[in-house]
Homo-oligomer: A and B are copies of this chain.
Amino acid sequence: MIYFNCDYNEGAHEKIMERLMQTNMEQTEGYGCDAYCRQAGKLILEKCRTKDAAVHFLVGGTQTNATVIAAALRTHQGVLAAQTAHINAHETGAVEAGGHKVLVLPSGNGKLTAEQVEEYYQAHISDDSFEHIVQPKMVYISQPTELGTLYTLAELTALSSVCRKNGLYLFVDGARLGYGLTAADNDVTLPDLAGLSDVFYIGGTKVGALFGEAVVITHPALREDFRYVIKQHGGMLAKGRLLGIQFLTLFENDLYLEISRYANELAEQIREALSKKHVPLLVENRTNQIFPILPDEILARLGEKYCYTYQQRIDAGHSAVRFCTSWATKKSAVDELCGDLLEML
Contacts and interface: CB of A to CB of B under 8 A. Distances in A.
A92 B133 contact: yes
A120 B66 CA distance: 25
A74 B223 CA distance: 13
Contact of A96 (B21, B29, B89, B101): B101
Contact of A132 (B20, B231, B237): B231
Interface in A56-75: 59-64, 66-67, 70-71, 74-75
Nearest to A232: B92
A93 B134 contact: yes
A90 B133 CA distance: 5
Contacts of A225: 74, 76, 131, 135
A76 to B, nearest CB: 4
A167 to B, nearest CB: 11
Contact of A60 (B26, B78, B237): B237
Contacts of A238: 8, 60-61, 205-206, 211
- Interface of chain A: mostly helix, strand, loop or mixed: loop
A63 B10 CA distance: 24
Contacts of A153: none
- Interface residue range, chain A: 35 or more
A234 B9 contact: no
Contacts of A135: 92, 225, 228
Interface of A: 1-3, 6, 8-12, 14, 17, 20-21, 23-31, 59-64, 66-67, 70-71, 74-76, 78, 89-94, 96-102, 104, 128-129, 131-135, 205-206, 210-211, 225, 227-229, 231-239, 242, 309-310, 328
A-B CB proximity, top 9 nearest: A63-B234, A11-B24, A76-B228, A92-B232, A93-B134, A93-B101, A96-B101, A9-B27, A3-B27
Given A11-B25, A61-B238, A97-B233, 15 more contacts: A9-B27, A10-B239, A11-B239, A17-B21, A70-B75, A70-B97, A75-B229, A78-B93, A92-B228, A96-B101, A96-B134, A99-B99, A131-B225, A131-B227, A211-B238
